[in-house]
Amino acid sequence: MDRFYPWILRALGLIVPGLVIALGWQLYQGSAASRHAFGWGFVVGSSWDPVFNHFGALPFIFGTLVTTAVAIVLAAPLGIGAAIFLAELAPNWLRGPVGYLVELLAAVPSVVYGLWGLFALVPWMRTILEPWLIAHSDNLALFRGAPYGLGFLAAGLVLAIMVIPFVVGLAREAIASVPRVHREAAYALGATKWEAIWQVVLPGARSGIAGGVMLGIGRALGETIAVTMLIGNTPTVSASLLAPGYTLASVIANEFTEATTAIYTSALVEIGLVLFAITLVVNLIARLMVARFAGAGAAA
Amino acid sequence: MNLRLRKNANRLMLTLTGVCTLAVLIPLFLVLYYVVRQGAAGLNWALFTRLPVPPGESGGGMANAIVGTLELLAMAIVLGVPLGLSIGVYTAELGNGRGLDKLAGAVRFSADVLTGIPTIVTGLFVYALVVVPMHRFSGIAGGIALALVMLPVMLRASEEVLRMVPQSYREAAMALGATRWRVLRDIVLRAAKPGLISAALLGVARVAGETAPLLLTALNSSQWTLRPDQPMASLTVGIFNYALAPYDDWHRQAAAAALTLIAMIILLSLVARAWGRIGEVR
């Protein structure tokens, strides 16, 4: 056993890169029919018509990017603010429980966020938030149209809640890893607590915080169920956040098991390929940023 | 800038970080409040003991979905935990990056990539891998999909736990003449046991709430399913379908199922934390 077990472990270890390669390969192979039929036009085509077998992914790419943007615009500042509070200000007795509650946000299943969104958030948005936005936004293109409730804004809001724990987690670690002496040096120069945080701590934690935000973006791009329940599932490209839309992940969830023709299935697999490629790039950037911050922390 | 202005800015911004924290926690309370209130109203014995009834009729329950979720999790545990643990042992114990075991870096990197892949895409993969050759949706496909989602979580968590076992334990055992395999089996794994159990529970909690990969693999069922080669019901897919259906009774059941699911997950994560703490003390 002593001689064999390293080889067994190495062989098992190979499974992991093998899985990633097999997954990418499977998506590539499975989408062959669609790639040949539509070429690059698939990515920029905006009609999605199963009846005439014409498929373009643009509305879904658009929906994924817009909901992710809404989510991160809300989650990044709130998450970083909460991370500062937890790492720098919260007294010890508060730090543990609040930290646990933030982690709990990540433990709530996607489908439960969807349920809450559908029956609590959306009615509130339809009757209160969206009419208010329409009335007070001075006819801004972002908030034009009828208050449906379901749409980019509802999906983005719930996504924001879902990715916040990822932002807080990494940002908090990055802030805590900034050496104490840096803060003390700032205080010695007469800085207030906030000035020390803003001018010394945050720049020192920058790449870790950015990594956390990127990781949140990666999560938001691939999140499926809650978005599927809240976005309205209509393939549209619209400047208004109040309009219903569709995302890459949710079109797979909704239509894959009902796809009737081979080309339809293949087009949905290509949607999966596009989603895989986007999240892969975003996650790689996130890892690089986190690795840089870990490296910088070790050097300091 | 004068001092008073700076002090006011200080007070304002520090208060704002507290406001941010509140703003982060308020949605959690709103969600939990909603699920507890609506869920408690829908809780009854039928939910845990009865099968679903046809659309439109009221009554019935989600007993098969509860059993299905447990079956799916059991399959995911059987497939995902030993594999994740073994590979975690590899990256932690042999993965110091010398010679052949530079491979460990690639394994770690691939695990991170796997963590970032949307679970719906994992579902597509398992669909092609298992559902297509079998010609039908099946519980085992769902179990494999969940195991794939769990694998990288279990791997990185067990690697971390194993790294916390002091190097001196290993050296002491080797000094007594133990072989590397004996050191691993009798010293390292034994010392890390509570932490590893905690890692496994966290992995289970992580996949218990998954819906997306199940939609493409286990699908759903309105019957008891004990056979893993048949479509299998689950709480998450049940909640998803019931929430989107136009029946009030189903909405009530969805909320009650959500309460059951959340209670299960929070319980798992609390037990995992408790085990983890035992691991730290020793």
ipTM of the complex: 0.94
Q: Give the gap in angstroms from C-alpha A178 to the nearest C-alpha of chain B.
A: 18
| CB-based contact A283 B116, cutoff 8 Å | yes
Tell the burial category of B258 from Cβ atoms under 10 Å away from its Cβ (0-12, 13-18, 19+): buried
Q: Which residues contact B157 (CB under 8 A, 6 or more apart)?
A: B84, B88, B198, B199, B202, B203
Is A130 buried (19+), middle (13-18) or exposed (0-12) by CB count in 10 A?
buried
Put residue B12 in one of left, alpha, beta given phi > 0 → left and psi -120 to 50 → alpha.
Answer: alpha
Q: Nearest-CA residue of chain A relative to B114?
A: A20
Q: Cα separation of B249 and A32, whole Å?
A: 44
Q: How far is A216 from chain B (nearest CA, A)?
A: 10
Q: Is the model's pLDDT at B57 over the cut of 90? A: no
Angle of the B189-208 helix axis to the B139-163 helix axis, nearest 10: 140
Average of per-residue pLDDT across B37-62: 88
Superfamily of structural domain A31-299:
MetI-like (1.10.3720.10)
Smallest Cα distance from B183 to chain A, Å: 10
- To test the contact with chain A by mutation, choose from B112, B117, B180 the residue with the greatest count of A C-beta atoms within 10 A, namely B117
Q: Which of A225, A279, A282 sits opposite B212 (nearest CB)?
A: A225
The Cα diameter of chain A in Å comes to 74
Among B210, B188, B204, B191, residue whose Cα is nearest residue B271:
B204
Shortest CA gap A44–chain B (Å): 21
Average pLDDT for residues B11-26, to the nearest whole number? 96
Q: Considering the domain boundaries, does residue B68 fall inside one?
A: yes
Q: Does A91 touch chain B (CB under 8 A)?
A: no
Q: Is B222 inside any structural domain?
A: yes
- Residues listed for chain A: 300
B245 in a structural domain: yes
Taking a C-beta distance cutoff of 8 angstroms, is the pair B142, B213 a contact?
yes
Q: Quick one: three-class SS letters along chain B?
A: CCHHHHHHHHHHHHHHHHHHHHHHHHHHHHHHHHHHHHHHHHCCHHHHHCCCCCCCCCCCCCHHHHHHHHHHHHHHHHHHHHHHHHHHHHHHHHCCCCHHHHHHHHHHHHHHHHHHCCHHHHHHHHHHHHHHHHCCCCHHHHHHHHHHHHHHHHHHHHHHHHHCCCHHHHHHHHHCCCCHHHHHHHHHHHHHHHHHHHHHHHHHHHHHCCCHHHHCCCCCCCCCCCCCCCCCCCHHHHHHHHHHCCCHHHHHHHHHHHHHHHHHHHHHHHHHHHHHHHHHHC
Distances (CA, A) of B224 to A197, A243, A288, B137: 58, 41, 47, 15
User: Do B205 and B269 meet the contact criterion of CB atoms below 8 Å apart?
Assistant: yes
A48 forms beta bridges with A55
Q: Do the beta carbons of residue B62 and residue B236 sit within 8 Å?
A: no
Chain A's closest residue to B182, CA to CA, is A2
- Interface contact B122, partner A, CB < 8 A: yes
Question: Is residue B99 domain-resident?
Answer: yes
Structural domain total, chain B: 1
* A117: closest chain B residue by CA: B31
Q: Is residue B217 part of a domain?
A: yes
B275 residue type, one letter: W
Handedness of CA A26, A27, A28, A34 (dihedral sign): positive
CB A16 to CB B107 under 8 A?
yes
CATH of the domain at B129: 1.10.3720.10
Task: HSE, CB side, 13 Å, CA atoms: give it for residue A144.
Answer: 8
Query: Which burial class, exposed, middle or buried, applies to B280 when counting CB atoms under 10 A from its CB (0-12, 13-18, 19+)?
Result: exposed
**Helix or strand run (H / E) with residue A265:** helix A262-299
Rounded distance between C-alpha atoms, residue B211 and residue A109, angstroms:
8
Domain limits at B265? 63-281
Per the domain annotation, does B116 fall within a domain?
Answer: yes
Total Cβ atoms within 10 A of residue A25:
11
CA distance A203 to B257: 45
Strand pairing partners for A54? A49
* pLDDT by position in tens, chain A (length 300): 788 888 999 999 999 999 999 999 999 999 999 999 999 999 999 999 998 889 999 999 999 999 999 999 999 999 999 999 999 999 999 999 999 999 999 999 999 999 999 999 999 999 999 999 999 988 788 898 889 999 999 999 999 999 999 999 999 999 999 999 999 999 999 999 999 999 999 999 998 999 999 999 999 999 999 999 999 999 989 989 999 999 999 999 999 999 989 999 999 999 999 999 999 999 999 888 888 766 554 443
Domain boundaries, chain A: 31-299
Domain for residue B3, yes or no? no
Region B146-152 average pLDDT: 97
- Mean pLDDT in residue range B59-80: 95
The answer to whether B162 faces chain A, any CB pair under 8 Å, is no
pLDDT at A298 (0 to 100): 44
Report the candidate in B155, B153, B144, B154 with the shortest Cα–Cα distance to residue B79: B144
Residue to test with chain B: of A80, A115, A189, most B Cβ within 10 A: A115
Partners of A55 in beta bridges: A48
Question: pTM, whole model, 2 decimals?
Answer: 0.94
Is residue B9 situated within a structural domain? no
